[in-house]
Every structure is written in structure tokens, then in C-alpha cells.
Amino acid sequence: MNENETTRPAVFQTGSLLTGAVACLALLLFAHQAGTARLLLAAAIGLLAGVALYHASFGFTSAWRSFVFEGRGAGLRAQILLILLTCAIAFPLIGSQGLFGRPISGAVAPFGYAAALGAFLFGIGMQFGGGCASGTLFTAGGGNTRMLATLTGFIAGSVIATAHLPFWWSLPALPAFSLVDRFGALLAFAITAFVLGSIYYFTRHREIARFGELEAGPRNVSLIRGPWPKSWGCIALAAVGIATLFVLSRPWGITSAFTLWGGKIAQAGGLPLQEWPYWSARTAWLNQSVFADSTSVMNFGIIIGAFVAACLAGRFVPNWNIGRRDLIVAICGGLLMGYGARLAYGCNIGAYLGGVISGSLHGWGWLVFGFMGSSLGAYLMMRLKPSHAARNA
């Protein structure tokens, strides 16, 4: 799907919509049977996320590339608004140490050599793979068959990284630090808003200075068929992040599920994962149903939700004519993202978004090194595959 597409088709894809409806019901049923009502709600949140991501074309990869190489900052500003909206609720929840007697934990982690390298590798992989973690899921669900290759590499890279994590985690790192714990929710939000607001103003100033005006949003928007303005996507995805905090008592994450899926495949293939330190401490997680894993359930929801949104828009038209070179680049991008995500405690959602809305230093570190890697990856893609970069800009 071209993220700048604004032409709206005339009809729904009724047959595919029926398939999507069945898939939604099946996911909700499996989630309910695998656990408590929290898993059922997690599936519903994932479905909402898939619809919002698809209709708003809300991706980190193209937004960063557009800002660096074209000077357009609408996508980056949308990310800033998403973070600020989520922080406004998340900081008080995390700072209160609980909700209705149930603690809510922020995603706070150390940041050192391994995390910096992981974020940098992930950034390169974003551009090679054609999407970030959430982007891989919603574009695959929306009919982008190339992203299936990216997802395959992502899952493989996640498992490969678990074999090396004891070494990476032994490298020096700054201790975990949380703005919310140190300064309280109100001052932490003021600091975060100042930094993000400065970036927001800079992107506006740069775009206006270059083009004379800001890029216009889509015309003829529709809640059901799409496309959505970026502001609608911000509100919907902020609701997803906040709902995840309420339901799962933690920030939204994606890539741990890829590690679980890959681990199950590797175990079924005879790989002795139980001998690896990472997996020896997680045997119960490895042996449980994927539908008992809240992150997996949300990821399935994103894929199905995006599929339904694409059918509503009349744009679910998979293209299986993909060149060998394109497949190799996509798989390599996925491998880099999967490996990098494990080193950096997650992806653009779990580590960057989840870290910043938790007030964690590692979220900001992920942004810096992930953005650097993404810029390099976009440059390499332009040199290696100029025609592909032009089609997906």
C-alpha cells in the first residue's frame, strides 16, 4: 500500500470482509479460551490498533525517511503528538504505583552499548525491511506480501539474538533511570513536553522554510473506509497505548511475541533452546499457547484489524510478483530488526514509545540511535534500490 494514497474505492470487498469477520471472532474466542478476560480485551485492543495503523498509514519508517530526505515532517509530528497524548495519562498512572489496587509498571531499562547497537541495527533494518515492527504487521495484514518476508526475517533474527544475549547484556550500560520516579509525574511531563515540543517546532519550521507551507492531509476522509488524517491516527493509537496500560498493566509491546513464535518453531525443529540461558529461564513462556501470550494476541489483532480495514477500503490486493533481490533485502531487514530489538529491549513501540511514555532514559537513547540507523538505512536503500525507494517514498 502506498502511504500517500488518497483515492477511495467505491465498494467494499464483501467476501474478504466476511473472512475478516470470522478471523476476528476466532481470535476473540481463542483468546478467551486461553486465559482471562484480560486476553480477550488485549485481542480487541489489537484489532483497533490494526484498523488505526492501516487507515492512518501510521508508520515510523516512511516518516523518518521523509523528514531526512524530503524535509516533510507530518509523520514525525504525528509521532510526537501520539507520545504526548499517551504521556498525559501514562505518567500519572505509573507515578501512582497502581490502579484499583493493581500496580502498573513502566518500561524502564538500562541503556548501554548493547541497546545503542540494537537500536542502530533496528533503524537500518526498518528501511531495508520497508517497515518497523508495527508497520510490518499492519502492512502484511493489509496485503503487502513483501512484508511476509520481512516478518520471517524478523522472527528468525529475534531467536538468533537470544543465543548471544548473555554477552551483550554483560557490556557496560547506564543504570535504569525514570523521569517519573525522579521528578514526579507533573515535572516529568513538563520536561518531556518541552523536548518533544522543540522537535515539533523544528520540523514545522524546516518544512515551511523549504516548501512555504505544511503538507496537506488526505481529502475526502472516511472513518469506515479511510484514509484517516494523522490526527485521527494519533488519537486512536494513544487510546490503544492507554488501554494497554489499563488492561495489561504495562506499556504496549510487539517484538517479544516474535521471539516466542520463533522459539516455538526452533524447538519444533529440534533446536535445544532449553540449553540457552535466555530460554532456560523462560520455559513456561515457551511452552504455553501463543494465545495465552498477551503480546501475541495483540499482534494477531493488528494483522486481522489491518486486513479488515484494507477490505473496507477496497484495497486488499496482494501482489505475489516480488523479485528475488527484493525478497533478500526484505529478509535482511527483518533479521536486523529482530536481532536489534532483542539487544535494545524492544522496537519502536516497545522500547522507544514504551520507554518514553514511562519516562525512561532508554526510550530517548533508542530514539537517537534508531534514528541514526534509519537515516543510514534509507541512504543505503536509495543507493542500492533507487526505483524501490522512489515507489515507497
The yes-or-no verdict on residue 121 having pLDDT over 50 is yes
- Mean pLDDT for the stretch of residues 100-118: 88
- Predicted confidence at residue 98, as pLDDT, reads 65
- Predicted confidence at residue 305, as pLDDT, reads 96
Between CA 361 and CA 177 the distance in angstroms is 6
DSSP 127-148: HHHTS-HHHHHHHHHTT-THHH
Grid cell, residue 17, equals 470482509
Evaluated on CA atoms 260, 163, 365, 75, the torsion sign reads negative
What pLDDT band is residue 99 in, cutting at 50, 70 and 90?
low
Q: What is the pLDDT of residues 286-311, one digit of tens each?
A: 999 999 999 999 999 999 999 999 99
Least Cα distance to 7 among 262, 313, 249 occurs for 313
How many residues are listed for the chain in this entry? 393
Alpha helices (H) along the chain: 14-34, 37-55, 61-69, 74-95, 113-129, 133-141, 146-162, 165-168, 179-183, 185-211, 230-248, 255-268, 277-280, 283-287, 294-313, 324-343, 354-356, 361-384, 386-391
Between CA 202 and CA 142 the distance in angstroms is 33
Higher pLDDT, 98 or 17: 17
Q: What is the pLDDT of residues 196-250, one digit of tens each?
A: 999 999 999 999 988 888 888 788 888 888 889 988 999 999 999 999 999 999 9
Tell me which amino acid residue 355 is: G
Give the start-to-end residue ranges of the domains of the chain.
14-388
- Predicted confidence at residue 382, as pLDDT, reads 85
Strand partners, 102: 99
The yes-or-no verdict on residue 83 having pLDDT over 90 is yes
- Predicted confidence at residue 251, as pLDDT, reads 94
Q: What is the pLDDT of residues 34-65, one digit of tens each?
A: 878 899 999 999 999 999 999 998 888 888 88
- Predicted confidence at residue 105, as pLDDT, reads 84
Least Cα distance to 132 among 149, 107, 151, 108 occurs for 151
- Mean pLDDT for the stretch of residues 256-272: 94
- Quote the percentage of the chain above a pLDDT of 70: 93
